[in-house]
Structure 1
Amino acid sequence: MKKFRFFVSGMPGVGKTTLAKRIADEIKREGFKVGGIITQEIRSGARRSGFRVIALDTGEIGRLAYVGQGYPRLGRYVIDVESFEKVAIPAISRALREGDLIVIDEIGPMEFKSNEFLKALGLVLRSEKPLLATVHRRFVERYRPLGEYYWLTPENREAVFSEILVKIKELLRENENAGNKAQD
């Protein structure tokens, strides 16, 4: 099991994105570089009308999906592959080159409509960079063997947050110390 990869899954609305964002923010506060993407709901009043993707390092925003007409589709959503790729692919590439931690929220069916995302994800998974990824529940079995896996619930949210945060901090400090020793 790869000890530098952390995969989080759970039911919709349980807090996967919030957990990923909280960990990214904490790691940044420690002085490490965090890159990658976060996806967020777009709401019109009480109704979800789509999803946006946000680059963690620049804050750039793109549209992942919206309710409307067009292709490719996933349920009632049209996937805006071009807008998604314009933000997500450079953000993931920068994280691979410059980041201490890569965050990918989410590995899921909407994102899989992008061949470029699949290529970028493959590069991330072949790298030795620490990774925190949220995984759609349909893809759990595909990613479980590739790292440490957590099923998030309202009851264990804080414990999972704390456990992953501690492990990532330890890993990044070890990497930092190894890098400092190599420079000596």
Structure 2
Amino acid sequence: MRGGDARRRGPLGGARLAHGAAEPRSDPQGRRRNGRGTLVLIVLSGRPGVGKTTVAQAVARELSAAGVPVGGFVTEEVRTGPEAAGSRGASPSRRGFAVEDLQSGQRATLADVSLPGPPRIGRYGVDVEAFERVALPALRRPAGGVLVVDEVGPMELESTAFRDRIARLADDPEPAVVTVPARTHPLLERLRAAGDEDAVTTETRDGLPASIVARLRRSLRDEEAA
């Protein structure tokens, strides 16, 4: 331990305190932590279609099965063919996207090729009002639970109220999983700086849910004990 530093490396590579040392509010990269030093905001980034939604849904299922309340929403494809809704990978039968409240099951159209806009993202018109009716009420974290936000992407960011809520999450992190595209945007960079970013790839996606659930449950235990 150099220079009498009371910190040692934690199991996830972050600095943690030796017994009896004072707790910092951020790690060396400036990321916010809760009262016991555990990163509470997990940011999943990756290209379209790689499986970010699948990972987020798996995390929500595993937490719910363990008795942990889960709030938030997921965004899924809407297809014209017989295929089931899935992630945002390119598909000739894809006609749009829908959001679903994880607690109530309420759904609404986020974007569709038939919507005229504005706004428009690519070939999709975005229904900001319908999105806000479902997504904004879903963004209340349940007591003692975890918030899942899938995703903070270009379509969702057309909502000013949604941007404001995500900005508050970046400024004051809470136990949450947030998916983001692999692109730059000021708000996305704030989320990355506030949380612990995991890249979703074809190699990592199968193992990520268990790792994320373990970190979130540890964070919730720390929060309860703080």
Is the pair's TM-score, using the shorter chain for normalization, greater than 0.5? yes
Quote the residue 1:182 is aligned against. Answer: none
Q: CA RMSD in A?
A: 1.7
Amino acid of the residue matched to residue 35 of structure 1?
A: G
SS of the residue corresponding to residue 138 of structure 1 reads coil
Summarize deviations over 1:100-128 as a string: whole Å, max 9, x none: 11110001110110001111212333334
The alignment status of 1:137 with 2:182, answered yes or no, reads yes
2:80–2:94 Cα contact (<8 Å) kept: yes
User: Looking at both structures, which has the greater relative contact order when contacts are Cα pairs under 8 Å and sequence separation is at least 6?
Assistant: 1
Q: Aligned with 2:167: secondary structure? A: helix
TM-score normalised by L of structure 2: 0.73
| Alignment gaps of 5+ in structure 2 | 1-30, 33-38, 82-91
Correspondences of 1:100-111 after superposition (within 5 Å): 100-111=145-156
**1:26 equivalent in alignment to 2:62:** yes
CA shift, 1:99, in A, is 5.7
Q: Distance in 2 between matches of 1:121 and 1:147?
A: 12
User: Are the equivalent residues in 1 in contact too, given 2:78–2:95 (CA < 8 A)?
Assistant: yes
For 2:77, give the aligned amino acid.
Answer: E
SS of the residue corresponding to residue 55 of structure 2 reads helix
Q: Does residue 121 of structure 2 align to residue 85 of structure 1? A: no
Q: Tell me which protein shows more helix as a share of its residues.
A: 1
Q: Which runs of 4+ in 1 moved over 4 A?
A: none
Over the matched positions of the two proteins, sequence identity in percent amounts to 40
For 1:140-180, what per-residue CA distance to the aligned partner results, in whole angstroms no more than 9, with x for missing partners?
5443211110111111112222221211121123333x27x
Match in the other structure for 1:150: 198
Q: Distance in 2 between matches of 1:156 and 1:71?
A: 37
- Contact residue 102 and residue 130 of structure 1 kept, 8 A: yes
Q: TM-score, normalised by structure 1?
A: 0.88
Structure 1 or 2, whichever has the larger Rg, is 2
- 2:223 pairs, out of 153, 175, 183, with 175
Which runs of 5 or more structure 1 residues have no equivalent in the other structure? 180-184
Partners of 2:191 and 2:171 in 1: CA distance: 13
57-66 or 119-128, larger mean C-alpha shift: 119-128
Partner of 2:98: 52
**Within 2, Cα distance between the matches of 1:89 and 1:83?**
10
**Hey, what's the Cα distance between the residues in 2 that align with 1:115 and 1:86?**
13
Task: Give yes or no for contact 2:170–2:191 (8 Å, CA) kept in 1.
Answer: no
Which of 82, 105, 121 is 1:74 aligned to? 121
Q: Tell me which residue corresponds to 2:164.
A: 119
